[in-house]
Amino acid sequence: MLRSFVREIEIIGNDLLRGGFRAFSSVSSRRRLDGKVALITGAANGLGRATAQEFVDHGAHVIIADIDTTLGSQAAEQLGPTAKFVQCDVAVESEVAAAVNFAVVHHGKLDIMYNNAGITGPAVPPSLAELDLAEFDRVMRVNVRGVVAGIKHAARVMVPSGSGSILCTSSISGLMGGLGPHPYSISKHAIPGIVRAAATELCRSGVRVNCISPAPVATAMAVSGIGEVYKGVSREEIVGIINGLGVLKGAKCEEGDVAKAALYLVSDDAKYITGHNLVVDGGFTCFKNLEFPSLH
């Protein structure tokens, strides 16, 4: 009798295990953004381009909004029939408004707005005493004013529908000082604050607002910027420098890591998350090792 009982338990356990695997497979293979319409600024290359691919793979219709007409058009063509390109300089509010209108005209709605476009400013950071405020203003127009414009015009169409997800790209340079040029660091510090301020109001309309703060990723922009600092160093060496900044053994921050974080935050899997800054840095900003001087 005991042997029969044990056998029944084994059969039930195996059935549950198989059912669990089937359920897991169903969840892992499902498309999280089926039927969603997403507008991504700065999506012609880099993190924006990788995220556009991730969104398309999960069933979204994606509008690539970028100042670069050549790369933007190429990206849309490569992504296939569910992607479109619209020229957009986020420093110009009317162009941000037009990009949002483009999404609504072509798809009848806007479910996701990803304010990703950004610039670093001068690669070699001057001292504060030598800071060019015209250059500072240029960085702030793109990285801060452009984000606010994106939130404003996304909210214009999302609030009446009672739903939507707005996402912004910040940086670990917005969490710690000394990781980038002053204009860039200041602009990235502003973004989590903008997100919290916007989330406070928009949550009442069912619209979520979040941001991502990634560690350095070896994108074309990052490689070019660091190349200005390390003159004469090969691209491979610069990529090695960037990847060597991580602290999580056996891992490096890649474009796909940020794209997957974006996918999570804009999907219904994160339906109860708003006003959040998701830090994708492998623990870089969690601690600082103390280096004691040698006593000998």
Please give the distance of CA 159 from its chain centroid, rounded to a whole number: 22
| 184 labelled catalytic | yes
| Cα 91 from Cα 79, distance rounded (Å) | 26
Whether 285 and 175 have beta carbons less than 8 Å apart is answered as: yes
Q: In what order do the strands lie in the sheet with 61-66?
A: 83-87, 61-66, 37-41, 112-115, 164-169, 207-214, 277-280
**With the C-alpha atoms ordered 206, 154, 47, 102, is the resulting torsion angle positive or negative?**
positive
Structure tokens at 68: 């670069």
Phi/psi of residue 33, each to 5°?
A: -120, 25
Choose the catalytic residue: 114, 184, 264, 272.
Answer: 184
Beta carbons within 8 Å of 170's beta carbon, 6+ residues apart: 188, 191, 192, 195, 211, 212, 213, 277
The amino acid occupying position 101 is N
Classify residue 181 as left (phi > 0), alpha (psi -120 to 50) or beta: beta
Whether 111 and 36 have beta carbons less than 8 Å apart is answered as: yes
Whether 112 and 36 have beta carbons less than 8 Å apart is answered as: yes
Annotated active-site positions, please?
184
